[in-house]
Copies of this chain bind each other. A is one copy, B any other.
Amino acid sequence: MKKRTVLLIGRYTKEECNLSMYKQNFFVYKIDELMDLKKIKKYDLEKIDAIAFKGHSKIDLEIMNKFPSLRIISNFGVGYDTINIDDAKKLNILVSFTPDILSDDVADMALALYLGVSRKLNNGYEWIKSGNWVSQGEMPLNKNISGSKCGILGLGRIGFEIAKRLEAFKTEIHYFSRKPKKVSSKWIYYNNPLELCTNVENLFISLKGGDSTNGFVSADFLRALGKDGIVINISRGSVIDENSLLDALESGKIYGAGLDVFLNEPRINQRFLELNNVFLQPHQASATKKTRKAMGELQFRNILNYFENGTPLTLVPELE
């Protein structure tokens, strides 16, 4: 096999990127983020056969055209909404991703956010630290989760794992997806997401990001959930009309929100930090050592397999 050239883009931890493995197999360039591309000479860019990408910057025709030899973009993560697949198609560039291996961690985080906002876990810790437990006794009562009705928007791999966990919390499962899925007959299907919101208390969002779901969860959805409603989002900040969400949280029109993702990460809307009915995490749903290591290995193997056998292991569905 001809020795190929790979450009690694992103800030990888040691678990996520086995650099010596890349170097054993490829010529390697490495930059921390896409805007550092300008540090690489045009002559070198032209040699690059594959990109291993970690990040959320936009990769479209303009970027792809800088790499005349590029055959594959291997994305680190299951979400690739910032990579323009239509543009990749035009240039015959394959795009691969790392599905499945992070579904458990992301579903776990969805449950963590749900428990965090319902059971006021931040307030609980503050109650101890501030000395309120000694001076004022018990913290204020909060909201139970077991026995609730929950809705899942998007029953892909991650949505399914969320639902399976919720079942163990004696939860009635309602879900929206384009088509009914082959799942437990107890799970209630909706082809209308707004109707789903009127029938549940808590909403879990596990939709794909990208243009087709931009602002999908609108003020109407939040109104339908009502003042006891909780919104959990582990997909992309873009799928919620974020200003409407902030308005609803500030005015108490919903009970709260548990969020791992935001618009304009990491420079998130500072209104979130003033709220007492949210539980916030810095897009860390898949950020465990074990999972990130597996994601990095799959990202690497997608490139290797493409050059050895002509196809990556996990191509994005649009290109299958």
Residues of A within 8 A of B (CB): 11, 13, 15, 104-105, 107-109, 111-112, 115-116, 119, 121-122, 124-125, 127-129, 133-134, 137-147, 164-165, 167-170, 265-268, 273, 279-284, 287-292
Contact = CB atoms under 8 A, between A and B. Distances in A.
B287 A139 contact: yes
A77 to B, nearest CB: 12
Given A128-B273, A133-B282, 18 more contacts: A13-B138, A13-B140, A104-B144, A108-B146, A108-B169, A112-B115, A116-B121, A119-B284, A124-B282, A125-B279, A138-B283, A139-B287, A141-B289, A142-B289, A144-B290, A144-B291, A164-B168, A167-B168
Q: Which of A107, A111, A265, A289 has the most CB of B within 10 A?
A: A111
A128 B112 CA distance: 17
B139 A284 contact: yes
Contacts of A280: 124-125, 128
Copies of this chain in the oligomer: 2
A119 B115 contact: no
Closest 10 CB pairs of A and B: A168-B168, A144-B288, A104-B146, A133-B266, A112-B115, A124-B281, A133-B282, A165-B168, A141-B289, A127-B282
Contacts of A283: 138
28 contacts: A11-B137, A104-B144, A105-B146, A107-B146, A108-B115, A108-B144, A109-B115, A109-B119, A111-B115, A112-B112, A112-B121, A115-B115, A116-B121, A121-B281, A124-B281, A128-B280, A128-B281, A128-B282, A133-B266, A133-B268, A133-B282, A134-B266, A139-B287, A142-B289, A143-B289, A144-B289, A144-B291, A164-B168
